[in-house]
């Protein structure tokens, strides 16, 4: 073997050994690399999962609980995707939404209650049955039964509303109707009015929520009727126990699939083209809540008529709902929505997106009471806007009698009021508490989540609400009542044994005369009258005011409206006469001593029956009648 060949073999051997060694290293290195890569991948996955869990926990914490988080996800990715998640009405195109065929058909309808006309019973058996059902419903149920479920109502909108066009792209709606022991025909008339007078493309559904009624026909028979006659547009939810208005509305809102939630009472009738005016402000800004004008459906005849042509919602410091006059700018265009500090509460439209951003209703509120204040304060203080839409009109039956008792046996309304005041009214809550000693004894419950909600949404202080949204509220309803012109018992000069007495009557019932209480300045509540700063006479027993519609009519009690008019009174301490209305009308309070009734009659200084002694008289304020007291309207 030559040296050269040996060298070649040695080189080949070494090369082979090197390749074998490299192969050996590669053979054992590959699994190690794979292991390292796998470990790195696992670590990365674990990091991503941990980040996801932390993110979800933080979001759930933000939305207070898992249910709120689920609702937020649903509305963010389901509802928002349908309307609010993308630009709409970019070109600003508007169309006429009127259903002229339906309007023509309704105009030609005839029959009981058609065109909103009053219907009166004449048959003796019907009248007897109606009296019985009135105690159950607070309105004439037999009259309701005589009227068609799809009756026509008068178009009482401002004439300019009839030619107004609205945005072409509008969100869909879920109409939520809560009912408890509602009469069959009144409930279904509500449903049919919505079905007939709403554009099908906008009406996603009507959700009826049965708050565990005790009337049998509101269970099986109603469900069968809904499923056979009204489905799929109408759905029915039965609550397992009596839960109250607030919980029931929340149940309806959770089930809703529309872009906008519209809440209606269960004895209402929507009017012509009611929906587009409610929806356009929301389409322009999803944080706008819109209320319709509420018309009156008479509880005894079901006559449909207007209530007024608009006022702004407010409250006094007993938390009674009140109304403020429109501001000058609100009167420029009778079709334009105007700002309102407080909603009436029963009828409104709000986007589902904004409703859930606000946390819905405070579910610590029980049955009913205070929910309209809570939602109104949240809307304004947390970046939204509340308006009334003059071209959207809905009729509402105002019960003549409250048929439902207290299901809790405790004063849940005061507790609700205190929850709202503690969370939203800041230092102004004290003025509520001063008016009602029950507040001091009432535990509002745990307010932690509501206060956290307010902090998280960065809501404005209540002082801002009063200064910017309701600047005239403190003028019209001072936090502390100014001194009255007169107060105490009101004694007849003609018959000193008799004094004015509320007779424990309520609104729309007459006052009378009764044996005087011993205490002149602080008699029992039914004889404790106040000639207030607002220039009305109030009775302490029920916080109602003396009201007289016209000359020679009996004086009745009516809800105080602070608008003077029929409720304006003045005491002339020299003649001892109580003057009704403006002085030039020459109308005075007069006693019929035989029947012990009170009337408004032409003033006559020679008649002792028109002379009265008040238990306490503030002579200084009466002498300054023209400058002290509420502004003359």
Cα(71)–Cα(68) distance, integer angstroms: 5
pLDDT confidence of residue 64: 45
Averaged pLDDT score across all residues of the chain: 88
pLDDT confidence of residue 630: 87
Concatenated DSSP letters for 512-549?
A: EEEEPPS-SSS--GGG-EEE-TTS-EEETTTTEEEE--
- How many C-beta atoms surround the C-beta of residue 120 within 10 A? 13
Peptide bond into 232 cis (omega under 30): yes
Confidence of residue 143 (pLDDT cuts 50, 70, 90): very high
37 pLDDT exceeds 80?
no
Query: What is the mean pLDDT of the segment spanning 560-566?
Result: 90
Q: What's the DSSP call for residue 466?
A: I
Does the 94-471 domain belong in CATH 3.90.550.10?
yes
Model confidence pLDDT, tens digit, residues 151-201: 999 999 999 999 999 999 999 999 999 999 999 999 999 999 999 999 999
Q: Which backbone phi and psi does 380 adopt, to 5 degrees?
A: -70, -50
pLDDT confidence of residue 436: 86
Is the model more confident about 323 or about 41? 323
Model confidence pLDDT, tens digit, residues 265-280: 999 999 999 999 999 9
Residue 268: Cβ-neighbour burial (10 angstroms; 0-12, 13-18, 19+): buried
* Percentage, residues of the chain above pLDDT 70: 86
pLDDT confidence of residue 341: 97
Question: pTM of the prediction?
Answer: 0.78
Residue-range domain boundaries for the chain:
94-471, 486-624
Model confidence pLDDT, tens digit, residues 327-352: 988 988 999 999 999 999 789 999 99
CATH number for the domain whose boundaries are 486-624: 2.80.10.50
Which element (helix H / strand E) includes 387? strand 385-397
Concatenated DSSP letters for 65-112?
A: SHHHHHHHHHIIIIIHHHTTTS---TT--EE----HHHHHHHHT--ST
pLDDT confidence of residue 62: 43
625 pLDDT exceeds 90?
yes
CB 283 within 8 A of CB 250: no
Query: Scanning the structure block, which residue is given the tokens 């070109």?
Result: 91
Residues 6+ apart with CB under 8 A from 441: none
Cα(192)–Cα(151) distance, integer angstroms: 9
Query: Which range has highest mean pLDDT (102-111, 401-410, 474-483)?
Result: 102-111
Helix 412-424 to helix 371-381 angle (10° resolution) is 10
pLDDT confidence of residue 43: 65
Q: Which of 23-27, 248-252, 503-507, 597-601 has the lowest mean pLDDT?
A: 23-27
- How many C-beta atoms surround the C-beta of residue 401 within 10 A? 12
pLDDT confidence of residue 405: 67
Query: What is the mean pLDDT of the segment spanning 585-609?
Result: 95
322 pLDDT exceeds 70?
yes
* Percentage, residues of the chain above pLDDT 90: 72
CB 307 within 8 A of CB 156: no
pLDDT confidence of residue 595: 95
Model confidence pLDDT, tens digit, residues 76-121: 333 444 799 888 998 899 999 999 999 999 999 999 999 999 999 9
pLDDT confidence of residue 79: 40
Query: What is the mean pLDDT of the segment spanning 532-555?
Result: 90
Which element (helix H / strand E) includes 486? strand 486-492
Query: What is the mean pLDDT of the segment spanning 428-453?
Result: 91
């Amino acid at each position: 073997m030559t040296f050269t060949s040996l060298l070649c073999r040695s080189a080949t051997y070494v090369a082979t050994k090197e390749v074998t060694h490299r192969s050996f290293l590669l053979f054992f290195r590959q699994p190690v690399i794979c292991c390292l890569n796998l470990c790195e991948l696992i670590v990365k996955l674990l990091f991503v999962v941990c980040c996801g869990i932390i993110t979800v926990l933080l979001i759930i914490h933000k939305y207070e609980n898992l249910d709120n988080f689920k609702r937020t996800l649903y509305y963010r990715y389901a509802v928002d995707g349908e309307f609010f998640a993308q630009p709409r009405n970019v070109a600003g195109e508007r169309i006429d939404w009127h259903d002229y065929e339906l309007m023509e058909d309704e105009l030609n309808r005839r029959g009981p209650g058609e065109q909103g006309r009053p219907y009166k019973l004449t048959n003796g058996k019907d009248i007897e049955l109606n009296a019985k059902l009135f105690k159950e419903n607070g309105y004439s149920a037999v009259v309701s039964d005589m009227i068609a479920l799809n009756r026509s109502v008068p178009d009482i909108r401002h004439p300019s509303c009839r030619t107004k066009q609205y945005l072409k792209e509008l969100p869909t709606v879920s109409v939520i109707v809560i009912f408890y022991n509602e009469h069959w025909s009144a409930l279904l008339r509500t449903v049919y009015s919505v079905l007939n007078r709403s554009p099908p493309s906008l009406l996603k559904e009507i959700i009826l929520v049965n708050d565990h009624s005790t009337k049998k026909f509101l269970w099986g028979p109603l469900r069968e009727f809904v499923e056979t006659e009204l489905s799929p547009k109408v759905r029915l939810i039965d609550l397992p126990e009596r839960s109250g208005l607030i919980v029931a509305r929340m149940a309806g809102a959770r089930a809703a699939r529309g872009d906008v939630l519209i809440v209606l009472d269960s004895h209402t009738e929507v009017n012509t083209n009611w929906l587009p005016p409610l929806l356009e402000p929301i389409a322009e800004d999803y944080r706008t809540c819109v209320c319709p004008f509420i018309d009156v459906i008479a509880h005894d005849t079901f006559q449909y008529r207007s209530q007024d042509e608009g006022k702004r919602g407010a409250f006094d410091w007993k938390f009674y709902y009140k109304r403020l006059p429109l501001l000058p700018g609100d009167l420029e265009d009778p079709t334009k929505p105007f700002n309102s500090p407080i909603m009436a509460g029963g009828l409104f439209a709000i986007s589902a997106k904004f409703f859930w951003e606000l946390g819905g209703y405070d579910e610590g509120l029980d049955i009913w009471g205070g929910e309209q204040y809570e939602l109104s304060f949240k809307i304004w203080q947390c970046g939204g806007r509340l308006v009334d839409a003059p071209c959207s009109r809905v009729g509402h039956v105002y019960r003549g009698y409250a048929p439902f008792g207290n299901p809790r046996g405790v004063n849940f309304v005061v507790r609700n009021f205190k929850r709202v005041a503690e969370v939203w009214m800041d230092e102004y809550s004290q003025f509520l508490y001063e008016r009602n000693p029950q507040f001091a004894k009432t535990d509002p419950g745990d307010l932690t989540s509501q206060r956290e909600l307010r902090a998280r949404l960065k809501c404005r202080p209540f002082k801002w609400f009063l200064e910017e949204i309701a600047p005239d509220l403190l003028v019209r309803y001072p936090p502390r009542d100014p001194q009255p012109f007169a107060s105490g018992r009101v004694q007849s000069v003609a018959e000193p044994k008799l004094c004015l007495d509320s007779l424990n009557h309520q609104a729309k019932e007459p006052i009378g005369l009764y044996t005087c209480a011993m205490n002149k300045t602080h008699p029992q509540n039914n004889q404790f009258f106040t000639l207030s700063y607002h220039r009305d006479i109030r009775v302490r027993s029920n916080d109602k005011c003396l009201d007289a519609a016209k000359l020679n009519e009996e004086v009745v009690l009516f809800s105080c409206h602070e608008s003077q008019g029929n409720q304006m009174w003045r005491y002339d301490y020299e003649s001892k006469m109580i003057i009704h209305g403006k002085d030039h009308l020459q109308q005075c309070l007069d006693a019929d001593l035989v029947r012990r009734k009170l009337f408004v009659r032409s003033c006559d200084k020679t008649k002792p029956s028109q002379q009265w002694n008040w238990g306490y008289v503030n002579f200084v304020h009466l002498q300054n009648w023209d400058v002290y007291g509420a502004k003359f309207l």
